[in-house]
Amino acid sequence: MENTQETRARDKQSGRTYGGESAEERLARQRRQFLDAGLELFGTVGYRATTVRMLCKQAGLTDRYFYKTFTDTEDLLAAVYTESLDQIQTEVIAAINASGNRQPTSGVIDAGLEAFFTAFENARVARVCWLEVLGVSPRIDALYTKRIEQFADLLLDLGKSVLADWRLPEAETRITGLALIGAISQSALHWLLEDYCSSRSSLISANSRLIHGLINILPKGS
């Protein structure tokens, strides 16, 4: 059906170099600029108050390029959120693996918590991940749920690897993981909302105690 010059010309970027950049490089750079602008604006004035025009001004690009890469501001929010959490998750896992001494549980847990809270010392990241992302749309809610569950699974896998046999029924295991993530994230949220007036170490120690208390009371076997 006439997939000729017309159609081909209308395709995104026909692919010419411009300013020393290939078409893909330009698209990637624009995407990055919008991601940065999104984190900056969503993390300060908030998602609801952020308009396409503001994003473009912040990114130093024109409206057209926004719609070339994203469909919505919501689309950008999802991208910013995903990228932030990807990075944090990577850092937490790295910290856990780095604290190689897996036997004394406390070391691993505190290392993970430290990486976690350190990442959320960036107020923009914290605000986007815990405040702005909630109640936007069913799609974003689903994304949020998925990421929280990923973190819960990370925590539970760690627990199961440390405690040889795990005797908690599956349903309660899931809820327990979510509850722990909730405890940690609520701490982080209040940390942000109170302008980080508590010390990071007190956050780590309070949450660490919670986790140790749980491990202690788990049904034990053998």
Partner DNA sequence: TTTATCTGACGACAGTTGATGTCACTTTAC
Partner DNA sequence: GTAAAGTGACATCAACTGTCGTCAGATAAA
- Residue closer to DNA by CB (options 12, 171) is 12
Residue 123 binds a second copy (CB under 8 A): no
Between CA 178 and CA 152 the distance in angstroms is 5
Binding string, residues 154-193; x marks residues near a second copy by CB under 8 A:
-----------------xx-xxx-xxxxxxxxxx-xx--x
- Smallest distance, a second copy to C-beta of residue 215, A: 8
15 interface partner picked from a second copy, DNA, none, CB below 5 to 8 A per type: DNA
Binders in 26-55 for a second copy, by CB under 8 A: 46-48
Residue 20 binds a second copy (CB under 8 A): no
- Smallest distance, a second copy to C-beta of residue 20, A: 40
- Residue closer to DNA by CB (options 53, 220) is 53
Which positions lie near DNA, rule CB under 7 A?
A: 9, 13-20, 23, 26, 51-53, 61-65, 67, 71-73
Q: What angle do CA 93, 78, 73 make, to 5 degrees?
A: 155
Task: Supply φ then ψ for residue 195, to 5 degrees.
Answer: 55, 40
Residue 202 binds a second copy (CB under 8 A): yes
